Amino acid sequence: MWVDAHCHIQPDYSRGQEAKALIERARAAGIDWMVCVGTDLASSLAAIALADEFEDVYATVGLHPHDASKLDDEWLALVSAADHENVVGIGEAGFDLFYEHSPFDQQRVTFARHIALANALDRALVIHSRDAWDATFELLAELGVPRRTVFHCFSGGPREARRALEMGCYLSFSGIVSFKTADELRAAAAITPSDRLLIETDSPFLAPVPFRGRDNEPAYVAVVGEAVALARGESVEQIAAVTTANAEQVFGVSHR
């Protein structure tokens, strides 16, 4: 069995595909459960609604760095939503300096709120970090790394992996690990300790080979797992077992 540690199957993300159909295909592909991730108040509440409806879906609440400027309007409601029984993480939140849709200073303030909330509630912190390694590591060091911190869709090489691992973080690998040009990412996957390893789809984005060009979905997480197994020289069964156990630990989920 597999766990998709990060997906977006809310209606606003799923491009016309019904969540029920996505979940049913995931079950048929051996996906035990999945984490549906919020990126603003509306998508966080939609993730909670799906978690309430489907027993194999769990939710997170947060403000993506693109939406960091919504902090003043949405934060109190997000904090309230974080207490919901099916919410297992805070985020995704962090820095995105590739697009910088919200100003850097606003991203920093917003990410700091998420770090503090994850620490206060002892929930997993789900980090988005793009072109922002130094800023991300510096703020985590300043505020204190939550006990269960995940670099979602990890996209660095061995250097960045070691920095994150030294801080006690988990690395979650997406379909990028199967891309032809992703040698540095595969090298990072190879050095990640087995007890710090997660896999995800980040659907509907970043479909793995051989599904590139299509919408991604949780059913493809096993394909990501196969690519990680190849990069590490381990069996697919080993990767399924350790990533499922790690997801249970990170998100506090005992699904069986």
Spell out where 109-169 has E strands.
Answer: 124-130, 149-151
What integer is the mean pLDDT of 45-61?
Answer: 98
pTM above 0.75, yes or no: yes
pLDDT score of 16 more than 80: no
Q: Are 256 and 13 a contacting pair, CB within 8 Å?
A: no
Which CATH number is 201's domain given? 3.20.20.140
Residue 256 lies in a domain: no
What's the pLDDT tens digit per position in 80-118? 999 999 999 999 999 999 998 999 999 999 999 999 999
Structural domain boundaries, residue 14: 2-251
Report how far apart the first and last C-alpha atoms of the chain are (Å, whole number): 11
Domain count, the chain: 1
Q: Tens of pLDDT along 153-184?
A: 999 999 999 999 999 999 999 999 999 999 99
Mean pLDDT over 114-142 rounds to 98
**Angle (nearest 5°) at CA 89 between 35 and 130:** 85
Place of tokens 């995931």: 26
**For residue 121, what pLDDT is reported?**
97
pLDDT band at residue 254 under the 50/70/90 scheme: confident
